[in-house]
Structure 1
Amino acid sequence: MGLSDAVMTALTDVGYETPSPIQEATIGPLLAGRDVLGQAQTGTGKTAAFALPILSTMRFGKDAGKEPRALVLAPTRELAIQVAEAFQRYASHMPGFHVLPIYGGQGYGPQLAALKRGVDVVVGTPGRVIDHLKRGTLKLDSLEWLVLDEADEMLRMGFIDDVEWVFENTPPERQVALFSATMPGAIRRIAKTHLRDPQEVTIETRTTTADNIRQRYWIVGGGISKLEALTRLLEAEPFDAMLVFARTKKATDELAEKISARGYACASLNGDIVQAQRERTIAQLKNGQLDIIVATDVAARGLDVERISHVINFDIPHDTESYVHRIGRTGRAGRQGDAILFVTMREKRLFKNIERATRQAIEPMDVPSMADVNAQRVERFKQRITDTLEAGGLEQFTDLVETYRAEHNVEPTLLAAALARLAQGGEPITLDAAPVDKSAGQAFHETADGDDKPDRKKKSATGAMSMETYRIEVGRQHGVEPRNIVGALANEAGMDSKDIGRIAINDDFSLVDLPKGMPEEIFAHLKTVWVANRQLAISRVKNSFGAPAPGPRGKPAAAKDKPRHKKSAKKKKAQTKSKGKPKRNAP
């Protein structure tokens, strides 16, 4: 394909034999100097598709200078690290080559020192790249390549303006490669504006998910909580390493703690964890010190660990692209993978959307029964006995057991049973059904299926839920509609739409009534939620008189809906005397 000898040697070391379709279609045009607009699903080898041509044509070492010749923009820190590691792996036979990942959450010191020494390739998130450009610590005067990886994800995360700014501050003669799983209009516009006669490459797939990933779903119910179902899967489903997706940062910490308490090597991965700890956690998953990671969507973006055999969607994602990215963490580079989705009854609409978008039926499954779990436990215990016998070296223990049997006149079977119980460490081999795990909060509660909802039991004396008013920084001029606000709040906060109160849409902001007592982790999460291409930046309104009177959502109340003034006691008395009997109060 025209790749350099050094790159080909590295590919041989890695074990690559044939290119993937996206690599086969794009490496040639990139080596020929063409801009490329590539569309392919996640996990198909897009990183090598642009890294190999860059390395094959790049000047590096002393003759190249200190300024980078290639810049790769990635939406998340994890993906930036993954891409940088791939460059380093493919350049293993190129002495003097340097690649640097730059991203938020890491101190400036190491990044500044590396940039000062000189690097060949910079892989970074848009925010930190722009920060270095404005500081003058990153110079792009010698830039030859600009790559956008997972451009649609940058659009979804609100980075498009930053991407445009980077394009405008790079040399016009640079070569561009833009890769994306989908091609929304905003990405097409960027390509039309900044790419020169690009070679368009679309890898058609029957579905948007890989065929080597087995997809199953379980409808939450039958008296079994999500946590109990997950516990049974861990017991009965053979897995190497597992990635469990939860909806909120707090949920990842709580779920990881509960899984660890059940004896599994587990850790959480979310946006509150400092970068150094995140990197250690991923390294521990790779080397086998951890077997399970519970993560949020953003924290797991770009995570590529060969050991991950299972992805569990403990909480269903709110959009189909998140689902594709989630399950793309398993079955990487042709390996077999398993993806399991937990679906509550009120989430069936989201589930149907996923099936329609992926054009692939997800097969139903039953959670393993306690009999299945116990059978697996017994088989594992038997296997431990078999493995110990095959390992040998039992002579000393044979003499000890025989001496004990003779001294105490114990039946061999009874003695073996006592030793088996001793080896089990007091933990029973078989389990009884576990109780449903429930916990209650003040105004929100966690149900058996693990979803945070407003507590409908918290009613006022009149029977109405106690509400308070919130302000969100999106309004009429941004094109928002009540359904957008209701959908975002219902999906992101896990509440039913009927629990969302009055909505007043103004020009540049909106007011909405929500149940009192919103947990701080949900409140913090809603600040970052995007609606109509703007973050909600939600805040509490101290005086809750700003919301409209009850009426159709998004519209001011009609005159007939306005509250009537109370009549004075004298007028009421006069009416009573004139009509003979009091009027029944309206409900």
Structure 2
Amino acid sequence: MSELMTGQSFADLGLPVAVLNQIESMGFTAPTPIQQQSIPALLNGKNVLGEAQTGTGKTAAFGLPGLTLIDAKLRQTQMLVVAPTRELAIQVAEALAEFGRQTRGLEVATVYGGAAFGPQIKALRTGAQIIVGTPGRLLDMLNKGVLKLDALRMAVLDEADEMLNMGFIDDIETIMGAVPSTSQRALFSATMPSAIRRLAKTFLVNSAGDEPVNIKIAPKAATKSTIRQRAWQVRGLTKMAALTRLLETLEYQRVLIFVRTRSDTMELTELLQKSGFKASPLSGDLNQTQREQTVNQLRSGHIEILVATDVVARGLDVPEITHVINYDLPGDNESYVHRIGRTGRAGRSGEAILFYRPREKHLLRQYERLTNSTIEFFEVPNAEQLSAHRQQILQDSIVAKVSSGGLEQMAQIVANMQEQTGLSAEQIAVALLAEQQAARPLVVPADPPPRKFADRPERGERGDRGRQEKRPGRDRRDANIDFDTYQIQVGREHGARPQDIVGAIANEADIDSKFIGQIQLFDNHSLVELPKDMPTGVLRILQRARVRQQQMGMELSDKTIAARPRKPRGERSGPKGFAGKPRQGQGRGGERRGGERRGRNFQ
């Protein structure tokens, strides 16, 4: 929720007691403008068209009234939320689960691409009342007959303009066409392009012919002038290795690390504790008493590092937090503002650090505009710098110890050692240093070289809200990348599409879309271009990865893919604003969002 609060309270909006008690326990006291207007309208059975920027609290605007419609005893889908990306879907689902924590029997399930069908199908069949998903996977579930909307009471399109920019409009129309006419509907979007307005006109008019309540919240930038923002591009090192180096070299008082899911809080905390850091998790798995105990331990210094998810960290007020680290970027800009707002409190300065992958770089521009500040780029300490830091720390410790005096007994022990062993004081000191570095090396092994394809300059970065900037050589064969052709054991007979293949490769091997070349589909296999000299470990991962439940079995091929001639600009078809969206049956690709592919000009 946003920090732009009104004078009204949630109790004034007519929410049920269980929901009010829960949001109060989470530290929320007053609704934001979008919540103040949307919640009463939805509680009164109206459909809502909301135009509001990220950072205004839209999740609670539809989530809280949606929870009032749920019958937890009925094991059927009663609320459906469609989100553009896997990250946003996970975040919205966790927020709804947290809001409904005191509703006994409530189940929330997430459905998104790039993950196995089995667990998601099981969640739908066991009767989760709230489903949050991305358009492509939701459409798959509808076509399989697994997602049943007969008992649906509310359908929500979240970040509708983002789904439009990503090419999901056809899928959205199909999904919304399956929503019963009796269901309430809500559409939230930061902007209202003509295609979204047409969608709203088609699907938000209720069965009685009533127009939706149109709510428009003027954008307002959040200024975080006391917070320095820095970003590191994930390459060469793993995120965990980079994190431990930062924590070892930063001068911090308390650190708050944000990850995406509850399980991530546990896993990352365990790794940090093994590395010697005083860390603890903060997630929805903890009850209110446990959370309060954890926060008190952070304030007292018994814990120095807290690993948390977005939902539970909202409202966290610990002035001693000097650093916020975005280990995983949030699913929306609203959450980013809340995250970095946990530092720089009570007039103090703070620092926010982001770990981002090349495909996420466009988000940094949005963060800069939203916070009215600049994000600096930096590199984590390399092996040589880390070694120098550790040696300096040890040296300073030794100097301080000598200066403090009282070492006469130790000096006598060294003298006895010299006399008994014939070793010099220097040899004894060297041996002690060697033993000292057994647990934490004073000379860190050299860093592995980054992947060749991850070091190439980024061309034509994606602009705001999915806009593709012009760039030369749009045909990937014209790019300054040497490709090999690989064969995978997935083809048309398995229902595979180019975007499915791209999504699987990008997700599993963490390869940015610009390093995936052309794809050619055959009946029982496909060819795909990937950069030359693929690391063995990456290839091994892709051999096991699955597309449409079929293992890729990727292997190098001696075949080549002929480049398709591109039509002159005047001959291309497709609605304006979709950058040449291909017709049905053609491969579509572009920027990967949440493991699903929709977009532009991918062959």
- The correspondence of residues 181-580 of structure 1 with structure 2, limited to 5 A, is 181=190, 183=192, 186-196=195-205, 197-207=211-221, 211=224, 214-217=227-230, 230-235=243-248, 236=250, 237-243=252-258, 262-264=275-277, 305=313, 312=325, 324=333, 327=336, 330-331=339-340, 338-341=351-354, 353=365, 357-358=369-370, 360-362=372-374, 364=376, 410=409, 426=436, 437-439=447-449, 444=452, 467-469=483-485, 493=511, 515-519=531-535, 542-543=557-558, 546-547=561-562
Distance across 2 between alignment mates of 1:348 and 1:80: 19
The 1:171/1:514 distance shift into structure 2, 3 A limit, reads closer
Q: Would you say the 8 A contact 1:378–1:429 is kept in 2?
A: no
The 1:206/1:241 distance shift into structure 2, 3 A limit, reads same
State yes or no: 1:125 paired with 2:110. no
The residue that corresponds to 1:33 in the other structure is 45
Amino acid across the alignment from 2:40: G
Using the TM superposition, give the Cα deviation of residue 266 of structure 1 relative to its aligned residue in structure 2, in angstroms.
9.2
Amino acid across the alignment from 2:158: D
The 1:362/1:432 distance shift into structure 2, 3 A limit, reads farther
The 1:4/1:376 distance shift into structure 2, 3 A limit, reads farther
Please give the per-residue CA displacement for 1:394-452, whole angstroms capped at 9, x wherever unaligned.
xxxxxxxxxxx9xx99489999xxxxxx9xx94699996856512377xx377799xxx
State yes or no: 1:48 paired with 2:60. yes
Q: Would you say the 8 A contact 1:256–1:293 is kept in 2?
A: yes
Using the TM superposition, give the Cα deviation of residue 79 of structure 1 relative to its aligned residue in structure 2, in angstroms.
2.8
Distance across 1 between alignment mates of 2:254 and 2:153: 44
Amino acid across the alignment from 2:448: K
Aligned residues with identical type, % of pairs: 30
Give 5+ residue unaligned stretches, structure 1: 246-254, 268-277, 295-299, 382-404, 416-421, 450-463, 474-487, 529-536, 557-587
Give 3-state SS (helix, strand or coil) of 1:106's partner.
Answer: helix
The 1:27/1:279 distance shift into structure 2, 3 A limit, reads closer
Q: Would you say the 8 A contact 2:72–2:105 is kept in 1?
A: yes
Distance across 1 between alignment mates of 2:25 and 2:270: 39
Q: Would you say the 8 A contact 1:504–1:548 is kept in 2?
A: no
Question: TM-score, normalization: structure 1?
Answer: 0.52
State yes or no: 1:168 paired with 2:177. yes
Pick aligned residue for 1:82 from 69, 94, 97 = 94
The 1:51/1:426 distance shift into structure 2, 3 A limit, reads same
Q: Would you say the 8 A contact 1:323–1:354 is kept in 2?
A: no
Aligned length: 438
Distance across 1 between alignment mates of 2:154 and 2:141: 18
The residue that corresponds to 1:98 in the other structure is 106
Using the TM superposition, give the Cα deviation of residue 291 of structure 1 relative to its aligned residue in structure 2, in angstroms.
5.7
Higher relative contact order (CA 8 A, sep 6+): 2
The 1:175/1:111 distance shift into structure 2, 3 A limit, reads closer
Q: Would you say the 8 A contact 1:505–1:555 is kept in 2?
A: no
Using the TM superposition, give the Cα deviation of residue 234 of structure 1 relative to its aligned residue in structure 2, in angstroms.
0.9
User: Rg bigger for which structure?
Assistant: 1
Please give the per-residue CA displacement for 1:148-186, whole angstroms capped at 9, x wherever unaligned.
234455556665444322211122232211224555555
Amino acid across the alignment from 1:238: Q
Q: Would you say the 8 A contact 1:38–1:200 is kept in 2?
A: yes
Distance across 1 between alignment mates of 2:132 and 2:178: 15
The 1:152/1:519 distance shift into structure 2, 3 A limit, reads farther
Give 3-state SS (helix, strand or coil) of 2:352's partner.
Answer: strand
Give 3-state SS (helix, strand or coil) of 1:140's partner.
Answer: coil
Please give the per-residue CA displacement for 1:495-528, whole angstroms capped at 9, x wherever unaligned.
9x9x999x9999xxx9997642234777889xx9
The 1:25/1:226 distance shift into structure 2, 3 A limit, reads same
The residue that corresponds to 1:147 in the other structure is 156
Q: Would you say the 8 A contact 1:69–1:143 is kept in 2?
A: yes
